[in-house]
A and B are shown apart, each in its own frame.
Chain A
Amino acid sequence: MPEILFFSLVAGVAIISSILVVAMRNPINCALSLIMTFFCMATLYVMLDAPFMAATQVIVYAGAIMVLIVFVIMLLNMRTETSKNYVHGVLVSSIVAVLTLFVISGFLSKSPLTGATGDMTPELVTKVGHVELIGKAMFSQFLLPFEITSILLLVAIVGSVILAKRKL
């Protein structure tokens, strides 16, 4: 029972801060609420017996990506959005959001939510260690995607330098 209380607390904070991301006028406030959402996600990952993913979430998302975004926001010196949002835009997007939720809850109520189960149990995670389990899977079964990822990062580096540079 305390587990479900804690989950509701974290989920409530995550939902409120993600609503603030959409609702805030100043981009810096949006970025700060998004960081709050990321921290709530990391808490949920810890509750799901994935401590290494939580660490990665905080370091990569809340650390690297958000610092980059905040840096660009400050670099561009944007003003707060003054013009009002379109009424029909808000209406259409609310309808889309409600429909998405409706479809998701429909799937959830129909599906038994089972599938091919593996051998990773919470006991195994505490005994062997999460990092070791991830590492074993990453560097044996998923070695090729891992290497392809490095090519993706290289392309992203080259692309962003070429885009942002005024004259090559």
Chain B
Amino acid sequence: MLSLHHYLILSGILFSIGAMGVLIRRNAIVIFMCVELMLNAVNLTFIAFSRYLGNIDGQIFVFFVMTVAAAEAAVGLALMIAFYKNRESIDVEDINLMKL
């Protein structure tokens, strides 16, 4: 029988893979995609709990997470374009303008 544990373990695995990607990769857009993956893992947790506890509040929360992710995508990609115009690269190693 499929239980809450299955969903939570899957969500934990996806979250760890996303966290690993954020730490390994150096391309800013790929790091950004890994953050989206982590947000999705959390969304899965919310919806699984909402289903197994019979409470719809978790699904409403997923809406707000999606909205924040969309806003984050717009602003983050605009930042990357602005950075690319300066440096011709979006490697995170090149983001050192504020370094002394």
Residue of A nearest to B39 (CB): A61
Contact of A7 among B2, B14, B52 (CB under 8 A): B2
Once the chains bind, are A101 and B20 in contact (CB under 8 Å)?
A: no
Once the chains bind, are B26 and A85 in contact (CB under 8 Å)?
A: yes
Residue of B nearest to A1 (CB): B1
Is A9 part of the binding interface, using a Cβ–Cβ cutoff of 8 Å? no
Once the chains bind, are B26 and A69 in contact (CB under 8 Å)?
A: no
**How many interface contacts (CB-CB < 8 Å) are there between A and B?**
218
Contact of A97 among B17, B50, B57 (CB under 8 A): B17
Interface size on A, residues (CB 8 A): 82
Once the chains bind, are A138 and B63 in contact (CB under 8 Å)?
A: yes
Once the chains bind, are A156 and B37 in contact (CB under 8 Å)?
A: no
CA distance A69 to B78 in the complex (A): 11
Once the chains bind, are B14 and A15 in contact (CB under 8 Å)?
A: yes
CA distance A31 to B56 in the complex (A): 31
Once the chains bind, are B53 and A115 in contact (CB under 8 Å)?
A: yes
Which residues on the B side are within 8 Å of A97 (C-beta)? 16-17, 19-20
Which residues on the A side are within 8 Å of B95 (C-beta)? none
CA distance A53 to B51 in the complex (A): 12
